[in-house]
Structure 1
C-alpha cells in the first residue's frame, strides 16, 4: 500500500492493516502466544506473540499520548520521556514490561481499543492539521501517526506470518 497522503488514505491504511493483523493475531492459540520463539525487536533476542502485541499497544498508547498532549498544547517529548529515537530497542523492552501479565485476549482488546481511539481522533482533524504542516521535525502529524500505527501493523503481520510458517514446519 502506498504511503498515505491525506486523512482518508491514513484512516484506510490504519483500518486495512489492522484488520489483516488482528485476524492473524486472533488465530493464535493463547498458550502458543506466550512462547518466546519469535525474533525480538532487539537483535539476538526472542519474543512472544504477546510481546509483539505489547509492542504495538505501547506504540498506539504513545501516539494517543502525543495527540492528547498536542490537543492540550503541551510539549511532546518524542518518542517518549527518557528515550531517544536511537533507543527504540529499549523502548520495545519497556512496552513488553508494561503489559506483562496481561492475558493475550486482553492485550488484543486493548490494542483494538487504542486503534479505535486513534482513528476517532484522526476523524476529528482536518487534512491541513494532519498533512499540511510539520509536527515533529519535518514530519507531519499524519505521517507520524502512520509511522507508528499502520506501518508497524503491516510489519508485525509479516513477522507473525513468518513465525507461523516456522511453527508449522517445526511440527
Structure 2
C-alpha cells in the first residue's frame, strides 16, 4: 500500500490494515493469547499476543494523548514522557505492563476496536491541510505521525501474529 498523502488515503490505510489485523486476531485461540511465545519488541524479549495488543493500544493511546495535549496547549513529549525515540523497546515493555491486568482476550480486542474508532474519529476531524500541509513533529506531518503509529504497527502485528499462528498449526487466512 502506498504511503498516504491525504486524509482519505490515511483513513483507508488505517481501516484496511485494521480490518486485516482483526481477521488474524479472530484466529488467535484465547487460551494461547497470554502465552509468551512471540519475539518481543526489545531485543531478546518475549511477548504474548495479548502483549502485542497492548503495544497497539499503547501507541493509539499516545496518538490520542498527543492531540489532547495539543488541544490543551500543553507541551508534547514525543514519544512519551520519560522515553526517547531510541528507547522504543522500553516503551513497548511499558505498554505490556499497562495492560497486563486485563486477562480477557475478548476484552482486549474490544478495547482495541474502541481505540481504533477514537483514532479514526480524530483523523476525521482534521482537514487534508492540517494532516499533510506542513510538518507537525520534526520533519513529519501530522498524518504521517498518525500513520506511523496506527496503520504501520497494525500491519507489523498482523505479520507477527500470522507467522506465530502458522507455527501453531493454523492455516493462514487473511481478509
Q: TM-score, normalised by structure 2?
A: 0.94
Measured after TM superposition, the shift of residue 28 of structure 1 is: 0.9
> What is the aligned partner in structure 2 of residue 89 from structure 1?
89
List aligned pairs for 1:148-163, cutoff 5 A: 148-163=149-164
Measured after TM superposition, the shift of residue 23 of structure 1 is: 1.4
Instruction: Indicate whether 1:59 and 2:59 are aligned.
Output: yes
Measured after TM superposition, the shift of residue 121 of structure 1 is: 1.1
Instruction: Indicate whether 1:122 and 2:132 are aligned.
Output: no
Measured after TM superposition, the shift of residue 27 of structure 1 is: 1.6
Q: Any stretches of 5+ residues in structure 2 without a counterpart?
A: 171-175
Measured after TM superposition, the shift of residue 36 of structure 1 is: 0.7
SS in 2 for 1:30: coil
Measured after TM superposition, the shift of residue 16 of structure 1 is: 0.3
Q: Distance in 1 between matches of 2:105 and 2:66?
A: 26
Measured after TM superposition, the shift of residue 127 of structure 1 is: 0.6
Count of residues in Structure 1 that have an aligned counterpart in Structure 2: 169
> What is the aligned partner in structure 2 of residue 40 from structure 1?
40
Q: TM-score, normalised by structure 1?
A: 0.96
Give per-residue Cα distances to partners, 1:107-159, cap 9 Å, x unaligned.
Answer: 11111111101111111110111001111000000000000000000011011
CA RMSD of aligned residues (A): 1.0
Measured after TM superposition, the shift of residue 68 of structure 1 is: 1.1
Measured after TM superposition, the shift of residue 71 of structure 1 is: 2.0
SS in 1 for 2:4: coil
